[in-house]
Amino acid sequence: MIEHRLELPDPWTARYTDGTPQNGARLSAWMNQDYLARTWKQDWPADRWTELLREHEERSDVGSFTVDHRGRPFAYIEVYEPATSVLADHGDWAKEDLGFHFAVVEPELLRRGLARDLMGDLCATLFAQYPGARLIAVEPDVANTAIARLFEYTGFALARTVQLPHKQAALMVLPREAHGRSRSTARTGPATAPDPR
């Protein structure tokens, strides 16, 4: 079950994003930005986003969050269970395994290394908050090479390419046992990593 909380460390603050019209309008404005419309392909009107957020509220296998950086909106994240998602037929998932979708919603904060930092903190938080999770999965569009490089920097490895209903995706996984190694490498690695666009 995906909890309605995400206990990220400072300087991040995660807020559960429920299906209010205000949240729907905010997500619609963010996702209609050119770079997110190209990569997420969910440049929907506000009422459709409100409907999706309400659907997430009613389910136990997905949760929607807005993440602030020092009080400023930075990212939208959906945490989900691959076993009950569109990935269900593309892996041998345990019920406790996790996946997430990740979008930087404030373009002025791109290319500052913040997405790299949040990605590492998010994975650490998920493994700590869900001790039964064996792995974390992500499935970016194969055309979104920037976010794929960011996932690789965080320690994710390509499992295979899969065809999902709305995209051809690069299925990437981060096993729990590999996470500590990737974190120590990231701390001593290059000063910059690609930010998703």
Confidence at residue 112, expressed as pLDDT on a 0 to 100 scale: 82
pLDDT tens for 20-31 read 999 999 999 999
Residue with tokens 């064996």: 134
Supply the pLDDT for residue 182.
55
Q: What 3-state DSSP class applies to 192? A: coil
Average model confidence (pLDDT) for the chain? 91
pLDDT at position 191, please? 34
Place of tokens 């296998």: 61
Q: What is the DSSP letter of 128?
A: H
- The pLDDT tens digits of the residues spanning 131-154 come to 999 999 999 999 999 899 999 999
Contacts of 15 (CB under 8 A, 6+ apart): 65, 66, 67, 68
Compute φ and ψ for 157, nearest 5 degrees: -125, 145
Report the number of secondary-structure helices (H) and strands (E) in the chain: 6, 7
Predicted pLDDT at 108: 85
State the virtual CA torsion across 178, 86, 144, 112 in degrees, nearest 10. -60
**Among the listed residues 69, 59, 25, 60, the one whose alpha carbon sits nearest the alpha carbon of residue 44:** 25
CA nearest to 8, candidates 173, 116, 129: 129
Radius of gyration (C-alpha) of the chain in whole angstroms:
16
Nearest to 97 by CA among 147, 131, 67: 131
What average pLDDT does range 71-79 have in this prediction?
97
